[in-house]
């Protein structure tokens, strides 16, 4: 039986992993094509979450499902020939907000697995242990712990390396902007994509691994098919932006921080600091407190969320001020002496329940269209393994009851019942809409 052709749109976390694992199962991997606007030689930064100077690798989850998956995924980061050399095992320190249950819940999940490597941290000792944290605001903090197994990787180079491994097996990689999905009304199915330069790429099965761009690509077809509001992709996920600040360090500053064994710091669920390495000399801070949504109206009057790339490096003054307050709380001495060298808005697809969306579209005329998205800003670490689960969805095979329910297309009632109101590290997050930020006044 001839293997179906597969077109994977997007070469980030989900798309790259799908290509890698599908190639391992195909007799003829050349029937698999991946298309993405970015490649390793592309100038300038990518707006995608999977293409960044660093992403955090950790197993610390309250959910046993994702804790188990993270433990499955972390071993390739240690040992895999295509991934291991991109990983920096620095450990991470989590300082909880007062009355937060995140630390206790994570460590309870570890103990239930029988593999708790964490140890208590005396918050008052943090500034004496690591020079960068001298003066860190420890008022209204809760419990704290250190996990020596966590670390970070160079996401751009690791993603490129993993995709190269898929290409060596025979996967076809195309670099182009996808303008639209193409729907054949006569055959009542999606047949492929049209690129910005007018080319058409077709396949038997389509995988949208397009993260924050998923609604933008899928909405026109849902408009054409007059899909009900509650059955649209926008109910399953939204395009959400977060702000990161970057300091480019001198060689001396980098050497001092590396000699200090500076860990990742998770501060009160508000922000994350990722340390430098001699190779990248970059100190990065993510602000978790504010997420923002940019909306557009489709031809049918539906409101959808889409990334706005005009302001990716032009951060509204309101968000800069919020980030400044975070920097002063986390590392007051350092941040008082210098401003970030650059800013970046990172976009991802966020789901109401915090779960991935690995599912065939439920509409009768979209049965060959599969969605692999919902990274929720915390899924890069799963790149070594998530593709094998997406492959099962493509083949119509179950991933087991728990995973099928977590990752399947959800009805309105279930979404409302399971919606999460805190971010992935236990902190409270507010949502600002694009119009509230006076985006282009500064």
Q: Which residue has the higher pLDDT, 210 or 52?
A: 210
User: Does pLDDT of 435 surpass 70?
Assistant: no
Terminal CA-to-CA distance of the chain, rounded, Å? 59
User: Does pLDDT of 395 surpass 50?
Assistant: yes
pLDDT digits (tens, 9 = 90+) for 319-329: 888 899 999 99
Q: For residue 423, what pLDDT is reported?
A: 63
Q: Please, are residues 221 and 364 in contact by the beta-carbon 8 Å criterion? A: no
> Residue 437's Cα: distance from chain center in Å?
23
Confidence category of residue 318, pLDDT binned at 50, 70, 90: confident
Give the mean model confidence (pLDDT) for residues 401-408. 97
The arrangement of secondary structure in 6-433, i.e. its CATH architecture, is: 3-Layer(bba) Sandwich (3.50)
Handedness of CA 374, 376, 377, 381 (dihedral sign): negative
**Whether the model pTM is above 0.85:** yes
Domain residue spans in the chain?
Answer: 6-433
pLDDT digits (tens, 9 = 90+) for 198-248: 999 999 999 999 999 999 999 999 999 999 999 999 999 999 999 999 999
């Amino acid at each position: 039986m001839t293997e179906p052709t597969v077109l994977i749109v997007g070469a980030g976390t989900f798309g790259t992993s799908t290509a890698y694992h599908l190639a391992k199962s195909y007799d003829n991997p050349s029937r698999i094509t991946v298309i993405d606007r970015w490649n390793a030689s592309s100038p300038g930064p990518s707006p995608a979450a999977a293409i960044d100077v660093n992403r955090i690798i950790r197993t610390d989850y309250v959910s046993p499902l994702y804790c188990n998956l993270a433990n499955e995924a972390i071993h390739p980061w240690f040992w895999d020939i295509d991934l291991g050399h991109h990983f920096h095992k620095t450990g991470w320190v989590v300082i909880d907000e007062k009355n937060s249950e995140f630390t206790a819940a994570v460590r309870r999940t570890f103990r239930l697995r029988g593999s708790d490597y964490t140890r208590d941290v005396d918050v008052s000792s943090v500034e004496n242990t690591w020079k960068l944290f001298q003066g860190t605001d420890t008022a209204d903090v809760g419990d704290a712990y250190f996990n020596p197994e966590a670390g970070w990787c160079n996401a751009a180079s690791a993603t490129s390396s993993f995709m190269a491994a898929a290409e060596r097996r025979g996967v076809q990689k195309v670099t182009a902007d996808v303008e639209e999905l193409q729907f054949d009304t006569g055959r009542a199915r999606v047949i492929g994509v049209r690129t910005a330069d007018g080319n058409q790429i077709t396949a038997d099965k389509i995988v949208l691994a397009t993260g924050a761009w998923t609604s933008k690509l899928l909405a026109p077809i849902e408009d054409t098919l007059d899909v009900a509001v509650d059955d649209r992709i926008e109910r399953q996920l939204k395009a959400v932006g977060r702000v990161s600040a970057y300091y480019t360090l001198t060689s001396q500053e980098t050497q001092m921080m590396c000699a200090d064994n500076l860990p990742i710091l998770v501060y009160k669920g508000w922000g994350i600091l990722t340390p430098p390495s001699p190779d990248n000399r970059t100190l990065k801070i993510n602000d978790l407190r504010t997420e923002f949504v940019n909306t557009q109206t489709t031809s049918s009057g539906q409101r959808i969320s889409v990334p706005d790339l005009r302001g990716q490096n032009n951060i509204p003054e309101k968000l800069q001020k919020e980030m400044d307050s975070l920097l002063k709380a986390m590392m007051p001495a350092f941040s008082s002496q210098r401003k970030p060298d650059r800013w970046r808005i990172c976009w991802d697809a966020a789901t109401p329940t915090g779960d991935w969306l690995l599912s065939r579209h439920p509409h009768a005329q979209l049965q060959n269209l599969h969605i692999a998205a919902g990274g929720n800003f915390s899924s890069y670490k799963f790149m070594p393994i998530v593709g094998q689960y997406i492959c099962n969805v493509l083949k119509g095979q179950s991933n087991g009851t728990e995973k099928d329910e977590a990752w399947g297309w959800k009805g309105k009632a279930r979404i409302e019942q399971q919606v999460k109101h805190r971010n992935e590290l236990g902190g409270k997050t507010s949502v600002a809409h694009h119009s509230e930020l006076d985006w282009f006044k500064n």
